[in-house]
Amino acid sequence: MNPVKCRSIVLQGSIQATRILQVCGFKHYPPPIKYDHVEFPERPRLKFVDRQPQLPPNIKAPKMQKKLRLMRGPEHIHNFLLHKQYGIMALGGGRLKWGHFEMLRLTIGRKMDKDRMFAIWRVDNPWFPVTKKGQGQRMGGGKGAIDHYVTPVKAGKIILELGGKCEFLEVKDFLTDCANKLPFKAVAVSQEMLDKQKADEKWREENNQNPYTMKYLIQNNMGGCQRWISPLDFKYFCKYV
């Protein structure tokens, strides 16, 4: 081989190796997230919740039945994030007492940075009366007196929202801690998690190759299942307890 040509090849190889070493020293960082679209409410912290509803003085507090239907099935209205950021979502039905509201308000108010974060309620104040009889009373004698008030919650309902100039990793720990203290299963969610969940459900429905779904089994009375399943299962096909 021509020595001049060989020398040029060696020089080109050394130049390329030098360029590789120079490039390896640099790191590529993505641009910071912009929060120009975030709208802050007038009050950044969670509002205080009354222990019982305020009724006019000439109206006696009414007593109600159990109405378990208020806790069964999915939530159809408050099942999305208004500010498209973060929140706590219920995974099952239950009742929120006034103590749970105070726990959420005090914990989140202490953990979050009020200068760049905010939190809002997505559930009503305690309005549903729960009656209870005194200790040692016999059965009968009519319905007991109102003991406290609760807020019924369905599966998929957003309990509260938290947003602002922050990322999900900053708020995930204390949101999860608050969700674990609720009387029903709940989880800290972000808008990306909700979008992914909806996309996964849609993909499973479109690509399901097993024709024997729970809906098919119940509607066709496979194995005589209609004799023992709950009336709620006819409506939601065993998806909600």
Instruction: Please compute the mean of the pLDDT values over residues 115-138 and round it to a whole number.
Output: 93
Question: Of 16-20, 110-114, 195-199, which gets the smallest average pLDDT?
Answer: 16-20
- Per-residue pLDDT, 10: 43
Q: What is the pLDDT of residues 46-93, one digit of tens each?
A: 999 999 999 999 999 999 999 999 999 999 999 999 999 999 999 999
Residue 9: is its pLDDT beyond 50? Answer: no
Percent of the chain scored above 90 by pLDDT? 73
Residue 21: is its pLDDT beyond 60? Answer: no
Q: Where in the chain are all domains bearing CATH 3.90.1170.10?
A: 36-193
- Per-residue pLDDT, 13: 53
Q: What is the pLDDT of residues 184-214, one digit of tens each?
A: 999 999 999 999 999 999 999 999 999 999 9
Q: What is the pLDDT of residues 179-192, one digit of tens each?
A: 999 999 999 999 99
The dotted CATH code for 36-193 is: 3.90.1170.10
pLDDT band at 4 (very low <50, low <70, confident <90, very high): very low
- Per-residue pLDDT, 147: 94
- Per-residue pLDDT, 68: 92
- Per-residue pLDDT, 168: 94
**Average pLDDT for the chain:** 88
pLDDT band at 1 (very low <50, low <70, confident <90, very high): low
Report the chain's terminal Cα–Cα distance, integer Å: 82
Residue 11: is its pLDDT beyond 50? Answer: no
Percent of the chain scored above 70 by pLDDT? 89
